[in-house]
Amino acid sequence: MAEQNLTDTIDFDRSVLGVDYDVGTYEVTKEKIIAYAKALGESNPLYLDEEAAKAGPYGVIIAPPLFYNMITIQAGPDPKVNFGTSGFDGGQHVEFFEPIKAGDTIHAKTQIADVYAKTGRTGTMVFTVRRTTFSNQDGEKNIVMDRINVRRDLSQ
């Protein structure tokens, strides 16, 4: 309850909470998947070898799980969190559904799922949870990803 009360005191635009915004469409090429897989030192032929992928469960090259990070999307809604002096990328929470495949057209939408404040040893921090859902041309969900931005006050 204390945390909830603390969050109530944070100045941000509550009208964007839970509202989905279209943030872009992206064509997935096999060249992009292969280059990404090679950069990570992947060895799975389903990511790298078109012939092997053809004989595999999807019939086409699939992307490694975190490939969605390569998809360029627009910034999406801005909750205008008015707190602190600096922000950092606190992490990602992701759930995987249908793999992203070569030739897919991926649609992305983003909402501000949550904004909350917490006080710990280093003072108060405000967490913004930005939830992006990636789906393919058949309407199948590929990825639901929460990206957590943390803002804190380093001036004190």
Instruction: Identify which of 80, 23, 30, 85 has the alpha carbon closest to the alpha carbon of residue 53.
Output: 30
In angstroms, what CA-CA distances link 139 with 55, 92, 105, 134?
A: 25, 23, 10, 10
> How far is the C-alpha of 31 from the C-alpha of 48, rounded, in Å?
9
Residue 12 Cβ vs other proteins, minimum distance, rounded to whole Å = 22
Q: Kindly identify the residues of this chain, within the stretch 123-152, that bind other proteins according to CB under 8 A.
A: 148
Residues comprising the chain, all counted: 156
Q: Kindly identify the residues of this chain, within the stretch 48-107, that bind other proteins according to CB under 8 A.
A: 64-66, 69-70, 72, 88-96
Q: Are strands 141-152 and 123-135 parallel, antiparallel or unpaired?
A: antiparallel
Residue 35 Cβ vs other proteins, minimum distance, rounded to whole Å = 5
Q: Is 44 in the site for other proteins (CB under 8 A)?
A: yes
Q: Is 109 in the site for other proteins (CB under 8 A)?
A: no
Report CA torsion sign: 146, 61, 59, 136: positive
Residue 16 Cβ vs other proteins, minimum distance, rounded to whole Å = 23
**Which residue, 96 or 116, is less far from other proteins as judged by CB?**
96
Residues that bind other proteins (CB under 8 A): 32, 35-36, 38-44, 64-66, 69-70, 72, 88-96, 148
